[in-house]
């Protein structure tokens, strides 16, 4: 079965009662909740606006956690935050839109970007991000959401050179990187999954760039399924990167931030 057929079958078989996301089910009210959390009161960091975007009576919480003295000291959860539920769907058609659930395939190794509720034992001790197997699993899906301060309607197309965040569907953490922490296998810049539905910061920002070998900004246009692209970490200028180096003793590959120049190990595609 092709990548496209495999992913379509998987998404159509998802049991919403056993996951934190709902596939192909409309949100409770028009535009509400495709990537904004449901609100049961006024005590959440995000307040849904009338158009379902991130308009808020107060800004999203900026959460900069100091590194622990040792990884054993790291709290298992951000206990003072609450989780929301994000409704979304697989990409409809060829364009990637805010609210879409996407699986990112590394071009060179064929593995899918993934995360899990296991922390690194080195560096920041934040949640692991890695390149998983060659067929996508439920742990390999990410929700495309706007940058902090962005006001993009659910279903609005994402364009190249636009800044986004990627939220891990299963664990609700955001794809993240930062200076000062080395990856465990190759000592490149660490990439983690950070925060939850109500804890985020600017280190969760990634710019979607069309892959090209020329210097400077590449052409724009809409981000499309099957296009080769790179994700550039906005705060540090490095690119999301993977390679054949293993993460620990498992059959999974390390994911890092590397560069700033583009190379073949920076290439990714969205497969549906």
- CB contact set of 182 (below 8 Å; sequence gap of 6+): 122, 123, 188, 189, 190
Total of domains in the chain? 1
Q: Determine the 3-state secondary structure of 215 from DSSP.
A: coil
User: Which H helix or E strand runs over 4?
Assistant: helix 3-12
pLDDT the model gives residue 171? 94
Is 227 a domain residue?
yes
Is 199 a domain residue?
yes
CATH of residue 160's domain is 2.80.10.50
Is 62 a domain residue?
no
Is 203 a domain residue?
yes
pLDDT along the chain (272 residues), means of 10: 52 38 29 32 26 31 44 42 54 91 96 94 92 92 94 90 95 95 90 92 96 67 94 96 87 92 90 83
DSSP 8-state class, residue 18: G
User: Which H helix or E strand runs over 6?
Assistant: helix 3-12
Asked if 257 and 236 count as a contact pair (C-beta separation under 8 A), the reply is: yes
pLDDT the model gives residue 121? 87
Is pTM beyond 0.85? Reply is no
Is 22 a domain residue?
no
Is 153 a domain residue?
yes
Domain around 102: 97-271
Is 76 a domain residue?
no
Is 17 a domain residue?
no
CA pseudo-torsion sign 169, 170, 173, 179? negative
């Amino acid at each position: 079965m092709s990548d496209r057929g495999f992913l379509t079958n998987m998404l159509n078989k998802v049991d919403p009662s056993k996951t934190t996301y709902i596939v192909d089910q409309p949100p409770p009210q028009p535009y509400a909740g495709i990537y904004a959390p449901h609100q049961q009161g006024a005590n959440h960091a995000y307040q849904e606006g009338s158009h379902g975007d991130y308009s808020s009576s107060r800004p999203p919480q900026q959460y900069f956690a100091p590194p622990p003295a040792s990884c054993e000291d790291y709290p298992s959860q951000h206990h003072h935050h609450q989780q929301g539920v994000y409704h979304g769907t697989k990409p409809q058609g060829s364009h990637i839109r805010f609210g879409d659930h996407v699986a990112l395939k590394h071009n060179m190794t064929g593995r899918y970007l993934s995360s899990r509720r296991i922390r690194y034992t080195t560096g920041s001790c934040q949640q692991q991000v890695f390149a998983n197997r060659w067929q996508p699993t439920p742990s390999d899906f990410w929700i495309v959401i706007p940058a902090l301060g962005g006001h993009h309607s659910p279903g609005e197309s994402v364009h190249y050179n636009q800044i986004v965040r990627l939220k891990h569907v299963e664990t609700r953490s955001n794809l993240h990187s930062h200076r000062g922490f080395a990856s465990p296998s190759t000592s490149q810049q660490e990439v983690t999954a950070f925060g939850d539905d109500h804890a985020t910061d600017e280190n969760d920002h990634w710019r979607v760039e069309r892959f090209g070998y020329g210097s400077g900004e590449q052409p724009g246009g809409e981000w499309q399924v099957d296009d080769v692209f790179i994700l550039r970490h906005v705060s540090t200028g490095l690119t999301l990167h993977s390679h054949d180096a293993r993460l620990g003793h498992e059959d999974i590959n390390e994911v890092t931030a590397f560069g700033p120049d583009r190379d073949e190990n920076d290439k990714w595609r969205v497969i549906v």
